[in-house]
Chain A
Amino acid sequence: MALLIVVGFGVGLYMADLHLSPLKLRLFSYHKWIGVTTWALLLPRIVWRLGHAPPPLPAGMPAWEQTAARAGHLLLYVLMAVIPISGWIMSSAQGVTTVYLGLWPLPDLLAKNEALGWLLLAVHRILNYALLGAVVLHVAAALKHHFIDRDGVLGRMFRFTRAAE
Chain B
Amino acid sequence: MKIIVPALLLACAAAQAGEYRHVDAARSQIRFTSKQMGVPVDGVFRSFDASLAFDPQAPAAASGRLRIALASIDTGNQEANEEVAGAQWFDTRRYPMAQFELRRILPLGAGRFQVSGMLNLKGVSRPLTVDATLKSGGANQAAMDGAFVLKRLDFGVGGGVWGDVGVVANEVTLRFHLVLEP
List the interface of chain A (C-beta within 8 A of B).
Answer: 20-22, 25-26, 28-29, 94-99, 101-103, 105, 112
Complex contact B38–A99 (CB within 8 A):
yes
Complex contact A96–B41 (CB within 8 A):
yes
CB A112 to nearest CB in B, in angstroms, measures 7
Complex contact A25–B76 (CB within 8 A):
no
| CB closest chain-B residue, reference A96 | B39
CB A11 to nearest CB in B, in angstroms, measures 14
Note all chain B residues with C-beta closer than 8 A to A28: 37
Note all chain B residues with C-beta closer than 8 A to A103: 38
Task: Classify the secondary structure of B's interface with A.
Answer: mixed
Note all chain A residues with C-beta closer than 8 A to B161: 21-22
Note all chain A residues with C-beta closer than 8 A to B38: 29, 99, 101-103
Note all chain B residues with C-beta closer than 8 A to A94: 77
Q: Any chain A CB within 8 A of the CB of B24?
A: no
| CB closest chain-B residue, reference A98 | B39
If the complex has contacts A22-B161, A22-B168, are A29 and B39 also in contact, measured as CB distance less than 8 A? Answer: yes
Considering the complex, which residues of chain B in the window 61-80 have a beta carbon less than 8 Å from any beta carbon of chain A?
76-77, 79-80
Note all chain A residues with C-beta closer than 8 A to B164: 22
Considering the complex, which residues of chain B in the window 52-92 have a beta carbon less than 8 Å from any beta carbon of chain A?
76-77, 79-80, 83
| CB closest chain-A residue, reference B79 | A20
Assembly CA distance A94 to B76 (angstroms): 8
If the complex has contacts A20-B83, A22-B167, A26-B167, are A97 and B40 also in contact, measured as CB distance less than 8 A? Answer: yes
Complex contact A29–B37 (CB within 8 A):
yes
Assembly CA distance A66 to B76 (angstroms): 50
Complex contact A26–B37 (CB within 8 A):
yes
Q: Any chain A CB within 8 A of the CB of B148?
A: no
Note all chain B residues with C-beta closer than 8 A to A112: 76
Note all chain B residues with C-beta closer than 8 A to A102: 37-39
Complex contact A25–B40 (CB within 8 A):
no
Note all chain A residues with C-beta closer than 8 A to B79: 20
Complex contact A95–B76 (CB within 8 A):
yes
CB A34 to nearest CB in B, in angstroms, measures 13
Complex contact A99–B37 (CB within 8 A):
yes
| CB closest chain-B residue, reference A95 | B76
| CB closest chain-B residue, reference A21 | B161
| CB closest chain-A residue, reference B39 | A99
Chain B positions 21 through 62: 1 when the CB is less than 8 Å from some CB of chain A, otherwise 0 = 000000000000000111111100000000000000000000
| CB closest chain-B residue, reference A19 | B79
Complex contact B83–A25 (CB within 8 A):
no
Assembly CA distance A99 to B37 (angstroms): 8
Assembly CA distance A98 to B38 (angstroms): 9
Assembly CA distance A22 to B167 (angstroms): 6
Q: Any chain A CB within 8 A of the CB of B162?
A: yes
Assembly CA distance A102 to B36 (angstroms): 9
Which of A20, A25, A98: most chain B CB closer than 10 A? Answer: A25
Note all chain A residues with C-beta closer than 8 A to B37: 25-26, 28-29, 99, 102
